[in-house]
Amino acid sequence: MNKVNTKEMTELSWSSPKGKFVGAGKQVSEALGRKPTSTDLMERHPFDIEILRVPPGKAPYVYHSHSAQWEFYHVISGRGSVRHKDGTTPIEAGDAFIFKPGEPHQVTNDGSEDFVLYVVADNPIGESSYYPGSKKWIVRSPERAIIRSENLDYFDGEE
């Protein structure tokens, strides 16, 4: 059995270049031995758990959707909102929600204190994400690549 104490884990923090997107997280599954870039299913684990902390007035990630990944969220403390395809919904401690593949989403801290959530994702091999605002894709298999393209005909560049 692998065991960690999340109170003792180091928190990883990030910020976009202009500071619009800011967050911090404790990568629980990785602390328990998950190897995110491995294609060996015994090393990847069937799900990934993060304790996500978002400072007041910030969103940790860009509005996005996943091609194959499910994401479950459980709010531990603070208040915020979640943007989704039908608009925006307020969320607070105790709320739990899930996004299936293809559903765009983004959480934001609308409160005055840190917003803390558990995020559980199944992280399937071959997962990609789409960013509706910038019309970009991120492809994660086997290497990470960010791509933007206009719609092309299937035979474009082939003949």
Q: Tell which residue, 103, 91, 86, 87, has the closest CA to residue 52.
A: 91
SS3 130: strand
pLDDT at 140 over 90: no
Q: Tell me if 99 is assigned to some domain.
A: yes
Q: Tell which residue, 28, 25, 44, has the closest CA to residue 36.
A: 44
CB 105, CB 65: distance < 8 Å: yes
Instruction: Name the domain count of the chain.
Output: 1
Look up the CATH number of the domain holding residue 49.
2.60.120.10
Cβ atoms within 10 A of the Cβ of 150, count? 5
Q: What is the rounded average pLDDT of the residues 43-70?
A: 94
Q: Tell me if 67 is assigned to some domain.
A: yes
Q: What is the pLDDT of residues 75-90, one digit of tens each?
A: 999 999 999 999 999 9
Q: Tell me if 28 is assigned to some domain.
A: yes
Q: Tell me if 130 is assigned to some domain.
A: no
Domain residues for 84?
Answer: 10-124
Q: Tell me if 120 is assigned to some domain.
A: yes
* pLDDT at residue 153, as a whole number: 61
* pLDDT at residue 152, as a whole number: 60
Q: What is the pLDDT of residues 19-34, one digit of tens each?
A: 999 999 999 999 999 9
**Environment class of residue 122 by beta-carbon count within 10 Å: exposed (0-12), middle (13-18) or buried (19+)?**
middle
Q: Tell me if 146 is assigned to some domain.
A: no
Q: Tell me if 136 is assigned to some domain.
A: no
* pLDDT at residue 36, as a whole number: 82
Q: Tell me if 94 is assigned to some domain.
A: yes
